[in-house]
Amino acid sequence: MTRRDTLEDETGKKLPAMTVFSLSIEYLRKEIVDTLSNQIVDIFNVSEIGWVLTVPAIWNDAAKQFMREAAQQAGIPGKNLRLCLEPEAASIFCRHLPVSKNTKQEVESISQFSSGTKYLVLDAGGGTVDMTVHEVTDNGNLKELYKASGGALGGTKVDEAFEAFLSSIVGPVVISEFKSQHLEDYIFIFREFESKKRKPVPPTGFVTIRLSTYLFKLCKKFRKNDLKDLLPQSGYESKVKVLPDKLRLDSDIFNEFFEPTVREINSYVDNLLTESSVDGCAAILMVGGFSESSVLQKYVKSTFKHLQVIVPNEADLAVLKGAVIFGHKPTTITERICKYTYGYETTHTYSDSCNHPKGRVEKDENGDLRCYDIFITLVKAGQSVKVDEEQPKKICTPITDDQTAIGFNVYASTSTNPQFTTEDGCSLIGQLRVPISDTSSGRNHEFGISFICGGTEIVVKVVDKESGEMMLKSVDFLG
């Protein structure tokens, strides 16, 4: 992901993604400020707002930085902005829910889970399934037990399955003409589908979906047939009926739209539960809009019978409301698991005791032999890090006497013990620049560098060993 990435609209027109995101955030920012201004006229000062922007926990550092920059372009001051990881927000929200009982009179809330209880948060949204496993700590806060995992799927995959079904009947040409000539009607059909998707799917019987007359006309024009006469070729003849302005689908066809997505979400959960660090997980907390789906709920409950499955009342708002609580008390999450091994690239002068392969040794501009591409590990994948914990300090010095800055190439690796930045699984993810304002000590000028990786964003603490000056720096992940 870079600052220059573009997005396409339905018709293929491009705009910079940064413009789309920052304008969307700006719209929301203005709405919020207007609403607040109307409600609390006198005591309200915009600069006092602490803004929280939520992002999926599975996003990488570049995507998080992208959102931060988009928010700043939208007029939210960086110092007042905090990013919050969505399943964490949902988990925090659910810890604040009142205790409730289900039909079997079992307590159905995580708010009174005692310390040591482990539970999995499944945030199933439109385009992302985002999971994290939390353990309640002694003081009632939460710590992450396994790195955030999940993938790009959710409720919109069900919409895609419906579109593929329509296309298998009328043909891709009709669908694409319909989209380009009658976009409003196309959107209408999907709204209609959305309302049916949100209702419990009947185990037997059928589901009716209203279509647009243009779709019928386009079938005539491009397929030289009535829509109902196209049905036999699609193989759906026995399961689907074409009415004058509607399609009537057997409920098992409707269920099939959910089937692959729901199965895949289940296997994500299943895989996560096999990790040893989440052994003894007691419950699954289902949040996000797609968690409201009766099909998904039924599937999760029947697969994980040994676990308590909790769906809070406002599953689709859990992230939003939890983010507000997080904004007031960001230290609720005390520990997180590092997704990657982070480090930087360095070189050092060659010595006989150095066991680096000869191929990495070259002469530098001072005539000294140096080893290149060395991966200096700052924090390891899978390691648990406390929110403000500084990783062990590394000392760095300039390579030449007149250097006015030290640049670091920051790398991430999926391995826990990478030796060289050129290994498989290592990639350059960002740059860090430490300015040297006083070059009088040349190559002897030492800087202490320590990474702080436990927050929602990585921060680097740099200490100038000569002046004693301390700086907090961000890595530039966007390039």
* Interface residues toward ligand ATP, by CB under 6 A: 125-128, 154-156, 194, 197-198, 288-290, 292-293, 316
How large is the greatest C-alpha to C-alpha distance in the chain, in angstroms?
85
- Name the residue whose CB lies closest to Mg ion: 125
Length of the chain: 479
| Closest approach of Mg ion to the CB of residue 21, in Å | 15
Q: Which residues here bind Mg ion, judged by CB under 5 A?
A: 125
Residue 197 near which of ligand ATP, Mg ion, none (CB within 5-8 Å, type-dependent): ligand ATP
| Closest approach of ligand ATP to the CB of residue 394, in Å | 36
Q: Does an H or E element contain 130, and which?
A: strand 129-136
C-beta of residue 155 within 8 angstroms of C-beta of residue 162: no
Residue 413 near which of Mg ion, ligand ATP, none (CB within 5-8 Å, type-dependent): none
Nearer to ligand ATP, 166 or 230 (CB): 166
Nearer to ligand ATP, 125 or 418 (CB): 125
The first and second tokens of residue 256, run together, are 């099939």
Residue 322 near which of ligand ATP, Mg ion, none (CB within 5-8 Å, type-dependent): none
| Closest approach of ligand ATP to the CB of residue 353, in Å | 52
Nearer to ligand ATP, 64 or 197 (CB): 197
Give the span between the Cα atoms of 328 and 331, in whole angstroms. 9
Sign of CA dihedral 276, 278, 283, 286: negative
Nearer to Mg ion, 125 or 312 (CB): 125
Residue 293 near which of Mg ion, ligand ATP, none (CB within 5-8 Å, type-dependent): ligand ATP
Residue 448 near which of Mg ion, ligand ATP, none (CB within 5-8 Å, type-dependent): none
Q: Order of strands across the sheet with 341-349?
A: 361-363, 369-379, 341-349, 405-413, 426-435
| Closest approach of ligand ATP to the CB of residue 98, in Å | 22
Burial class of residue 253, CB neighbours in 10 A (0-12, 13-18, 19+): middle
Give the span between the Cα atoms of 22 and 67, in whole angstroms. 8
| Closest approach of ligand ATP to the CB of residue 254, in Å | 12
| Closest approach of Mg ion to the CB of residue 57, in Å | 10
Residue 198 near which of ligand ATP, Mg ion, none (CB within 5-8 Å, type-dependent): ligand ATP
| Closest approach of ligand ATP to the CB of residue 201, in Å | 9
Q: What is the DSSP string of 14-52?
A: EEEHHHHHHHHHHHHHHHHHHHHHHHSTTT--GGGPPEE
| Closest approach of ligand ATP to the CB of residue 152, in Å | 8
Give the span between the Cα atoms of 80 and 243, in whole angstroms. 56
| Closest approach of Mg ion to the CB of residue 376, in Å | 36
The first and second tokens of residue 317, run together, are 């708002």
Residue 343 near which of Mg ion, ligand ATP, none (CB within 5-8 Å, type-dependent): none
Nearer to ligand ATP, 72 or 156 (CB): 156
C-beta of residue 460 within 8 angstroms of C-beta of residue 473: yes
Give the span between the Cα atoms of 99 and 106, in whole angstroms. 10
The runs of H, that is alpha helices, within 204-332 are 213-223, 227-234, 251-273, 294-303, 318-328
| Closest approach of Mg ion to the CB of residue 125, in Å | 3
Nearer to Mg ion, 125 or 171 (CB): 125
- Find the helix packing angle between 213-223 and 183-198, rounded to 10°: 120
Nearer to Mg ion, 58 or 166 (CB): 58
C-beta of residue 450 within 8 angstroms of C-beta of residue 461: yes
Residue 311 amino acid letter: V
Residue 172 near which of ligand ATP, Mg ion, none (CB within 5-8 Å, type-dependent): none
Q: Order of strands across the sheet with 308-310?
A: 308-310, 283-287, 118-124, 129-136, 142-151, 333-337, 384-386
Nearer to ligand ATP, 173 or 187 (CB): 187
Nearer to ligand ATP, 126 or 330 (CB): 126
